[in-house]
A = this chain, B = another copy of it.
Amino acid sequence: MRTITWNDDAQKVEMIDQRLLPQEFMINAYEQYQEVADAIRAMVIRGAPAIGAAGAFGIALAAYQSKASTTAALIEDLEEAGAFLNKARPTAVNLAWAVRRMLKETVVFDGSVDELRDHLLASAKAIADEDVEINKRLSEFGAALIEDGDHIVHHCNTGALATVDWGTALGVIRMAQEQGKKIHVFVDETRPRLQGARLTAWELEQYGIPYDIITDGASGYLMRRGLVQKAIFGADRVAANGDVANKIGTYMLALAAYDNGIPAFAAFPMSTVDFELESGNMIPIEERDEAEVLQLQLLGKRVTPGNASARNFAFDVTPARLVSAWITEKGVIYPPFTANIKAAMAE
């Protein structure tokens, strides 16, 4: 089952509600692009590649919602929908990338309004299918870096749930296991939304890959003790110089890996690279509701004082100097990234 799919009978986009996992497995269906934007914002669906696909299906929904009778009027409606969808979450560039790619289809398309609607749906489905292929391809490249017996620290969730299917960084781990390598994963719990403790742990159980959950502050100690051989994570936006924006905590993980001579790999599709940004300092970092930090409970009770306040930046930026390599569908790219990525793209 994919994280996000199109239901042809119902003409709706369906998503696994990731807020409820692993306690409850529920599918939500949406028939309006505004609902899709809300679902992205509320993190029903999350993970850069997955919200890219959600953006594409959002545009397809908008095409069917539109009352336009000319392609010009339809395109106008779609541009409005695209701007609305783009605002749902600011950091992951895949959302804007998918919306832009969908809108580009309208420019080259030659046909009736209804044909354009169907063409856009087909395009969204193609983006979703491609995501799975790309993830498997990058996972093949990445798995070659993983050795039998590795203990790997993994941050956030980058598995099937963070993508349409298969996963990026977690996809690399799955692929290594499928190749017969024995892997053990230290799962960063990934506060505040606990994507590691909830989603990555749940996925690893299904893949039969042994793991232990650790708190986000613990990986450095494990590395100093010699218990870790690799660190791997995804990306929400990568700047042209190689800086990687990813889930909050990634920078400190990469720093600990660097301090201990342990490779830190970022795995992502090329659609995550924002070639227009010279450096990671220009990546917009989403600040979310403080409630996500404060609502933590133990024994059924909230633990923070009633008047407590919090800051809740959802992402951080890891400077390229701390990233050992990019794992992409174009291959493993080593520093200096600026030069090597150009070469990889030119192939």
Contacts and interface: CB of A to CB of B under 8 A. Distances in A.
Contacts of A186: 311
A214 interface: yes
B296 A201 contact: no
A217 B248 contact: yes
A252 interface: yes
A194 B298 contact: yes
A16 interface: no
Interface string A46-66: 000000000000000000000
B252 A296 contact: no
A251 B221 contact: yes
A202 interface: yes
B255 A303 contact: no
Contacts of A285: 221
A315 B222 CA distance: 11
- How large, as a class, is the contact surface on chain A? 35 or more
A140 to B, nearest CB: 28
Nearest to A259: B255
Nearest to A319: B224
B297 A213 contact: no
A316 B218 CA distance: 8
A312 B311 CA distance: 26
Given A222-B311, A255-B220, A316-B218, A194 B296 contact: yes
A22 B306 CA distance: 9
A248 B218 contact: yes
Nearest to A193: B298
Contacts of A259: 255
Given A259-B255, A303-B197, A310-B212, A224 B297 contact: no
A268 to B, nearest CB: 19
A219 interface: yes
A202 B305 CA distance: 6
Q: Which 4 A-B pairs give the minimum distances between C-beta atoms? A: A217-B249, A221-B316, A297-B297, A191-B215
Interface of A: 22-23, 186, 188-192, 194, 197-198, 201-202, 205, 211-222, 224, 248-253, 255-256, 259, 285, 290, 293-305, 307-313, 315-317
13 contacts: A22-B303, A22-B304, A189-B191, A191-B217, A194-B298, A201-B305, A213-B294, A215-B216, A216-B216, A216-B249, A218-B248, A221-B251, A252-B256
